Structure 1
């Protein structure tokens, strides 16, 4: 049996990309959310007894509690590593496109930096208010392309 804490604000995805709810998220709350996700990811990668690589870190897998504290959820594709095992290669790439690192998609190689890439995409989504994919009707540009083409 799995028991989860009730999260009244659902997940970050439903909060960020709902026009009505996203306007109530000010810059301080966005910064606190970013810091909270970073702290939890650091715990998984460095501070826990075993290294855990999530492999499917995305906004819909970040739950928000009553104080808007982020909690990383859904560890169905996570891998546990021991200290002497820095990376792994897989023949079956799983996860959500738009959040997966290029070396994972192309070569099947994943390690803690794969989750850091996903965190970077979440960071861009929080700051821009745009989803990682589907920025254009024909899906010709993802969030990374959009950000790199934006004038400063």
Structure 2
């Protein structure tokens, strides 16, 4: 049995991917959530007694407390490392495909870098208000990552920003 603290603001995905509730997250809140998640990953990767690789970092695995502070949850796929061990290989790749690092999805190789890749996908989702999986754009067949790269290469990265935040953020 797993017992955890009640999180009144539920999970991050229920806020950022919901048109009605997404308006509650202005740029300042989103930025604080991103920084909080980064701090949580830093703790897991460097500051805890054992190095913990989450392997399934995504919006539904981020809970928000009453003050909108993020808490990383669901460590069902996590792996721990001790000493100088930084990476491992598995024959059974598990997790959410839209958030998996390519080396993990293809070769089963996971490390701190795998979580950092997933964190990058999560940041794009938080900024854009769109899911990577199932992302649909009328002009191309790219996923959210490809769309973000395309906008960056075109010199239009601000077009990625969630429309609920238009004019409400600083560059």
TM-score normalised by structure 1 residue count:
0.95
Question: 1:57-80: per-residue Cα shift (whole Å, max 9, x none)?
Answer: 000000001000000000000000
Match of 1:141 in 2: 142
- What CA distance in whole angstroms lies between the structure 1 residues aligned with 2:3 and 2:29? 27
Q: May I ask how many residue pairs the two structures share in their alignment?
A: 152
Task: Report 1:112-131 matches (<5 A).
Answer: 112-131=112-131
Shift of 1:148: 1.4
Shift of 1:141: 2.3
CA contact (8 A) 1:133 1:141 kept: no
Task: Report 1:1-152 matches (<5 A).
Answer: 1-136=1-136, 140-150=141-151, 151=154, 152=156
Unaligned regions of 5+ residues in structure 2, if any?
Answer: 157-171
| RMSD of Structure 2 on Structure 1 (CA) | 1.5
TM-score normalised by structure 2 residue count:
0.85
- What CA distance in whole angstroms lies between the structure 1 residues aligned with 2:109 and 2:21? 37
- What CA distance in whole angstroms lies between the structure 2 residues aligned with 1:133 and 1:2? 29
Runs of 4+ in 1 over 3 A off after TM superposition: none
Question: 1:93-131: per-residue Cα shift (whole Å, max 9, x none)?
Answer: 000011000000111100011000000001000111110
